[in-house]
Amino acid sequence: MKDFLNDLNKEQRQAVEQIDGPVMVIAGAGSGKTRVLTYRVAHLFNSGVDSFNILALTFTNKAAREMKERIIKIVGDGDARNIWMGTFHSVFARILRIEGHRLGYASNYTIYDTEDSKRLIRAIIKEQNLDDKVYQVNYVMNRISSAKTNLLSPSEYNNNFEIMNTDKMAGKPKIGELYSIYNKRLKKADAMDFDDLLFNTNVLLRDFPDVLYKYQNKFKYILVDEYQDTNYAQYLIIKKLAANNENICVVGDDAQSIYAFRGANIQNILNFKNDYPDQKTFKLEQNYRSTKTIINVANGIIVNNKDQIFKEIWTDNEEGNKIQLLKASTDGEEGTMVASSIFENKMNEQLKNDAFAILYRTNAQSRSIEEALRKTNIPYRIFGGLSFYKRKEVKDLLGYFRLTINNKDEEALKRVINYPARGIGKTTLEKIIVRADQKNTSLWEIIEKSNDPELNLNAGTRTKLSTFATMIKSFSVQIEKKNAYELGKHIASSSGILKEFYNDKTPEGIGRYENIEELLNAIKEFSEKENTNNEEKSGESIHTLDNFMQDVALLTDADEKDKTDTDYVSLMTIHAAKGLEFPYVYIVGLEENLFPSIQSLNSRTDLEEERRLFYVAITRAETKLTFSYAENRYKWGNLTICEPSRFLEEVDEKYIDQPQRTIVRNRDKFSKNKHFSKSSTSGILGFKPKNLKKISSISSSSDIQFESDDSQDLQTGMAVEHSRFGKGKIINIEGNGPNKKATVFFKGVGNKQLLLKFAKLKIIG
């Protein structure tokens, strides 16, 4: 076998060969990060490291699969089978299956997904007689998730004055109480949510020194992918596991840290040198993906961030096309221009639809794009919509699987106890819930003792409950006897779900039946796959239903396979696009308050995250990149004036192919603005910002000499003049501070709602 290290460039090879001690690999976009991780593991094998002693952590199952497949191609599947490789959640879930009994969990505990958690929280809010408009489910869940990510238990949360005061000031003083009840209900159901997988692993390593010692000695070499995306809980686990040997290699790119809203902490990668003073840093700066133009634009953007590890990405690829800039009057016209551009590029370059991706800041922006693509007859697919495993009929059958594996799973039980209908109604279920609360036990134990006189059930209902319990128990005893597919098909048939959908001949019913069939196909594929995980217990089958359900519970959207036609234009948020690449990329909606988001303008930290998001969007493109923005955009039914994004001003104009309709007309105006100055590297508007916290409004050329009055002087009833809409009258003023807005009636135009900090109104009476 040839020396596989010869496939690497100089920097990649250095990063791979430094196997001992702490290593940080700063991997720029398109620089071969996955190759370095893969070859590093293969090199560890060849250097005599036991594959059982390697832990590799990723953020998606897809990334883990790809790495393992590449490793097998290099060194064969013998060693690759033994690595602990997977997502943070899947690896820690596996540890908790083995060690969870120390925390009072059975090895077959259930993992609640987001929908399960929401359903439970919604039920608790109702039980506590709280107003669900005040205690909104998403808000409560996010507060609980944030607490767990920061390793705050319910008791610590409730004893923290600052946190409790924050909830009180927000008019939601019962959050801490809801957190306590939620956690107790999870424990009673022998279940963990996603955050618990990290929280409980931290508790294990903190409270049980023998467990910590065991895994420190097991995982002598640790690799972490996308380290910039780790949160506090993940950071602590990694630090504890690596403390003994310090053979830790983290790979990431601070310039692509875009998940702060999920708890990711960019300081983890920025402070790696502080955590490991003797660490060695390797920078992968050669990009293999994009043209020189695209790389130069990306470099010109990210250099404006203060918090970063400096690097200069470069490429040997061709110069490539200049960036196209599309300026539209409205968001509807923007969609039309983008669709027309895609159609034109398809025809001129003989391209397929899958060569194109349209990226936006928020999901709501897809509407106008979708309409335009449909009119142009261009097929597309939106990523981030309802995933296969979240469809009701799929969740229903999965509910049976979950209850079969863990009879105490309350959310699964409530979902399937009367589906298909078997005469166990809402009243019966409520009696069971009340009795379980009285006895502080699970719903299942109450159902098993349905002859309890305190339940006050008639003979017919008791029989139905007994029949249901017997059916579930008959499924449970077959978990170790049948593989996942055999048992899954048996449950689908015996539960009545297959018959329910087979008998429904409506298009919707047929679609649901096909989805159940597709789920069984997925289980069949799982049951026939080769064992590459080497479970802890010798001879243990990985093809059982409980193992399939763990895989499903830990799936991300990026892991799901799409088995339909793949020739479509991809539409997605920039967050969803991370890790992907496309020949032609359109970044739409480049307007102030949209991108960057209005929520990011209050601090430099938030603004820099938005700039990193723009950097990620740019570096998804391989061949050609297009920017677009609209002068006006509908928001809440009103057409509002928009100004181009400040990020456009950070793009050197020499890289822009400016069509006839561009914003160059305002260049003179802004070059005179005290916040900007001309330079040889001026942006596409002809200036480079010196102060990113303030930016003047951009509107039509007619307002260059237009002098507006101070918005503080405006009052309801005043006659005013606007540079574009002409003369009008202020009908109403509402809001405060930067969110203050006025409704103005303009003759021949009608009512317009304008944000006063951008409106530029002149008082005329």
Which positions are catalytic? Answer: 33-34, 225-226, 256, 620
Task: Find out whether 523 and 548 touch, Cβ atoms under 8 Å.
Answer: yes
Three-state SS sequence of 219-250: CCEEEECCHHHCCHHHHHHHHHHHCCCCCEEE
Residue 402 token pair:
């979950």
Phi and psi (nearest 5°) for 333? -70, -35
Residue 704 token pair:
């260059």
Query: Going by C-beta distance under 8 Å and a sequence separation of 6 or more, which residues neighbour residue 70?
Result: 34, 35, 38
Is the N-terminal amide bond of 453 cis, ω within 30° of 0? no
Task: Find out whether 733 and 715 touch, Cβ atoms under 8 Å.
Answer: yes
Alpha-carbon distance of 459 to 451, in angstroms, equals 9
Tell me which DSSP letter residue 671 carries.
H
Find where tokens 């040889």 sit: 680
Query: Going by C-beta distance under 8 Å and a sequence separation of 6 or more, which residues neighbour residue 454?
Result: 435, 438
Angle at 187 between CA 487 and CA 538, to 5 degrees: 45
- Of 250, 245, 241, 249, the C-alpha closest to 215 is 241
Other C-beta atoms lying within 10 Å of the C-beta of residue 571: 25
C-alpha distances out from residue 285 to 32, 313, 744, Å: 10, 5, 53
Helices (H) and strands (E) in the chain, counts: 31, 23
Q: Distance between terminal CA atoms of the chain? A: 86
Phi and psi (nearest 5°) for 93? -65, -35
Other C-beta atoms lying within 10 Å of the C-beta of residue 209: 9
Query: Going by C-beta distance under 8 Å and a sequence separation of 6 or more, which residues neighbour residue 347?
Result: none
Query: Going by C-beta distance under 8 Å and a sequence separation of 6 or more, which residues neighbour residue 705?
Result: none
Alpha-carbon distance of 544 to 108, in angstroms, equals 12
Query: Chain centroid to CA 416: how far?
Result: 29
Question: 360: part of which helix (H) or strand (E)?
Answer: strand 356-360
Task: Find out whether 759 and 740 touch, Cβ atoms under 8 Å.
Answer: no
Residue-wise DSSP of 91-116: HHHHHHHHHGGGGT--TT-EEE-HHH
Query: Chain centroid to CA 252: how far?
Result: 17
What residues are paired with 324 via a beta bridge?
626, 657
Alpha-carbon distance of 492 to 398, in angstroms, equals 9
Alpha-carbon distance of 368 to 497, in angstroms, equals 39
Phi-psi region of 315 (alpha: psi -120 to 50; beta: other; left: phi over 0): beta
Alpha-carbon distance of 220 to 48, in angstroms, equals 13
Residue-wise DSSP of 389-435: GGSHHHHHHHHHHHHHH-TT-HHHHHHHTTSS--S--HHHHHHHHHH
Phi and psi (nearest 5°) for 754? -120, 135
Three-state SS sequence of 58-96: ECCHHHHHHHHHHHHHHHCHHHHCCCEEEEHHHHHHHHH
Phi and psi (nearest 5°) for 356? -115, 145
Alpha-carbon distance of 142 to 88, in angstroms, equals 20
Alpha-carbon distance of 222 to 246, in angstroms, equals 8
